[in-house]
Amino acid sequence: MTTSHPYANRTAKHFDGIEFDEALIHKYNRQGPRYTSYPTALEFVSMADGVEAKILSTRNPATPLSLYFHIPFCRHLCYYCGCNKIITKKNSDAGDYLDYLFAEIRHKKSLLQGNSIVKQLHLGGGTPTFFSDDELVRLWQFLQAEFTFAPDGDYSIEIDPRELRDTTLQTLRNLGFNRLSFGVQDLDETVQIAVNRVQPLPLIQSVMADARRLGFDSINIDLIYGLPHQRVDGMRRTIDEIIKLSPDRLSVFNYAHLPERFTAQRRINEADLPSPSDKLTMFGNIIHALSDAGYQYIGIDHFAKPSDEMAIAQRDGKLHRNFQGYAILGDCDLLGFGVSAISQIGAHITQNPTALADYQAVIGDGKLPAVKHIQSEPKDELRRHIIMNLLCHDYMNFGYLRERFGIEPTQVFADEIANLHDMAADGLVQVDDDGISILPKGRILGRNVAMVFDEYLSQKHAGRFSKVI
């Protein structure tokens, strides 16, 4: 019989260890999904009439809610961006968009049974602080009237330091937001100019100081390596300055240059990009610098202080992944609102229209907005459990699979285990009677280990992913 938390605290130092082995990275680095879901978003099909209403009306009201709101507007175009964002300076756009959000919220809320507790909320985009302070208050008050919020919930928002009013952070804190996330990407002015995101270090320092003073529980900073004009020494200076700022979490992303897919990236001169060798050196330096500074490597580009709730959740075996990335509350159904927003309810994943005009049209007609759908099968639940625990906890426990799914994993996954032979020989993973463990050399390549268990992964998706590094 396994313990109730087989993924918790397996070894005292497991999450302190990460090794950067350049030769092994070169050997195994290949394109693959980021696994914010399984099946991944590439398996979406068209949504049939009436399906979204049935999903919402039959949802288990005992399951808490996580709410996501997609705010697509930005005032500036970042050239590295690969997202569906709308660049505008018209403040009226935000007010109009709020009305559509409210209509969607009312419609979905009218179909939900019971009174589920909201334990998590996130405003993403785009730039949610494109909304004025008054609009942020209006949205929050509307949500308070529609939903019941847990007093100790996780309420976060993405901000742009360049667009904050003097009162915005105080307004957000007064409303109940307790987490902030914002992009820095690089502190070198030449790089900032090349990607059209100029924000000097004193501005970042001021935002961090104000957020600390106001008592935000956790602050995340985004960095990107592989941008135009980035150099190894310059990126090292950036990471040293960021460490001085002491963010609670860091997301360090690999820039994938795909101008054929993302229009904004066509403004970047490919000749200005760092070489693959320099890019790999940058990432290695970041790994070493953050590890030396005491940050815990969470996985897939994410780091956190050991005292942060994300790091604690990982050590306790309670970390999860969803379309917002790593999440500390995995017992929630995710309800997404707004253009392109994704919901995850039980075995169902749905997505709203990705074009603003299409979203506005369907909401204006009084219809539910989802246009894409995935309904996972029992076999998907099994593989989802394996993939997500490999990515969240670097471990797959055979005993737990026997208990929960009634299978003999060494037989059901005999081919997959055999396919891990080379990784085991290279010291990336260990396979024993207890299960499969990702070792310190393999933690950076966790996605490659997870891909072994993805039965949807095939040539039909070639070219749709970025490489691990």
81 is in an annotated binding site: yes
Task: Confirm whether residue 299 is marked as ligand binding.
Answer: no
**230 appears as a binding residue in the annotation:** no
Task: Quote the CA–CA distance of 345 and 43 in Å, as a whole number.
Answer: 16
Annotation-wise, does 225 bind a ligand?
no
Amino acid occupying residue 299: G
C-alpha 28/C-alpha 468 separation (Å) is 9
60-92 burial, b at 16+ Cβ within 10 Å, e below that, comes to: eeeebbbbbbbbbbbeeebbbbbeebeeeeeee
What long-range pairs does 427-435 form, CB within 8 A, spacing at least 24?
428/24, 428/28, 433/398, 434/397, 434/398, 434/399, 435/395, 435/396, 435/397, 435/398, 435/399, 435/409
Distance CA 258, CA 188 (A): 23
DSSP conformational letter for 224? E
At 175, the amino acid letter reads L
Residue 126 marked in a binding site: yes
Contact yes or no for 125/72 (Cβ under 8 A): yes
The answer to whether 127 is annotated as binding is: yes
CA distances in angstroms from 80 to 185, 194, 262, 450, listed in the order given: 10, 9, 9, 27
User: Residue 78 annotated as binding?
Assistant: yes
82 among the known binding-site residues?
yes
256 labeled part of a ligand binding site = yes
Residue 394 zone, left/alpha/beta (φ > 0; ψ -120 to 50; rest): left
185 belongs to an annotated ligand binding site: yes
Tell me: is residue 80 an annotated ligand-binding position.
yes
Q: Is 222 annotated as a binding residue?
A: yes
Q: Return the C-alpha torsion angle 44, 48, 52, 55, nearest 10.
A: -90
Q: Determine the 3-state secondary structure of 159 from DSSP.
A: strand
Residue 68 counted as an annotated binding residue: yes
> Residue 428: enclosing H or E segment and its boundaries?
none
Q: Annotation-wise, does 55 bind a ligand?
A: no
* CA dihedral (58, 61, 123, 95) positive or negative: positive
Binding-site residues from annotation: 68, 74, 78, 80-82, 125-127, 158, 185, 197, 222, 256, 342
Binding-site residues from annotation for S-adenosyl-L-methionine: 68, 80-82, 125-127, 158, 185, 197, 222, 256, 342
Binding-site residues from annotation for [4Fe-4S] cluster: 74, 78, 81
